[in-house]
Amino acid sequence: MKFDAMLKARWGAADTLLCVGLDPDPARFSERLQHSPDSIYQFCTSIVDATADFVCAFKPQIAYFASAGAEDALQRLIVYVRATHPAIPVILDAKRGDMASTAQHYAREVFERYDAHAVTLSPYLGFDSIEPYLAYPDRGVFLLCRTSNAGGDDLQMLQVEGERLYERVARLAVEWNRSGQLGLVVGATYPRELARVRALAGEMPLLVPGIGAQGGDVEGSVKAGQTADGAGIVVNSSRAIIYASGNGDFAEAARHAAQKARDEINRYRFATA
């Protein structure tokens, strides 16, 4: 099944727009888990099993694995999700962006080595840096558009021929989306810009990080970003869920936090701003 079809099916079947981000930091693990030589894999699979009922996707952040030399754990984690929860897509948060010849190798890394269903990319180098990823027709790509960090203003809010740069990125994404594989990343910290991107992007899926620890506006984001059928967005929460407890009950605490986040998001579905 293609990524976009998986995502739509999950939105409906599981009645959820929540994505759980997997950002494993061993310093925040329970004391007992810290002593395990395979702690990152054990932590992440425990979170996956505990929260799977409430999510439309999982989003591992590659830097957390790479900095710990745990790329093998990331590979095994995605194998585990595919085998144990096959209806839930995995979005690899890599934010890659390089010239086409190099992008071909990054695409192989994401879609062959790690076997992720989708990836986040920077569009800064233009379409030829995105095209190698689109050679995998069953996979998805989310382009950074209006990111959740305050520093995003430095470039994304610049005026470009009468519009903001993030608006130009959204327009370009629509032009580039001939295969239907593209989506956009727009932070929950900017609901006004999220509404603007939705107006420009039509039905394109939007990955919306920034709720939870970053303090994004859940109500504003859902109302601004959802499509007419109450879907269209992948609302990510990472630290507020996976570190809901630093003790041995971390998985149970994550489950409760994920259910609470799912229910809060659903409270505003189909509502208008």
Pairing of strands 118-121, 182-186: unpaired
Domain assignments of the chain as residue spans, ordered by start: 3-267
Q: Using the predicted structure, report yes or no on whether residue 273 has a pLDDT greater than 90.
A: no
Question: Quick one: 198 exposed, middle or buried, by C-beta within 10 A (0-12, 13-18, 19+)?
Answer: buried
Rg (the chain; Cα; Å) = 18
CATH architecture label of 3-267: Alpha-Beta Barrel (3.20)
Q: Compute the average pLDDT of residues 141-145.
A: 98
Which residue has better confidence, 143 or 217? 143
CA–CA distance, 59 with 56 (Å, rounded to integer): 10
* DSSP-assigned beta bridge partners for residue 159: 164
Longest pairwise C-alpha distance within the chain: 56
Tell me the catalytic residues: 95
**Could you give the CA distance from residue 253 to residue 244 in angstroms, rounded to a whole number?**
6
pLDDT digits (tens, 9 = 90+) for 107-120: 999 999 999 999 99
pTM: 0.96
The 10s digit of each residue's pLDDT in 46-76 is 999 999 999 999 999 999 999 999 999 999 9
Q: Which pLDDT does position 53 carry in this prediction? A: 97
Q: What mean pLDDT comes out for the span 159-180?
A: 96
Give 211's pLDDT tier (boundaries 50, 70, 90): confident
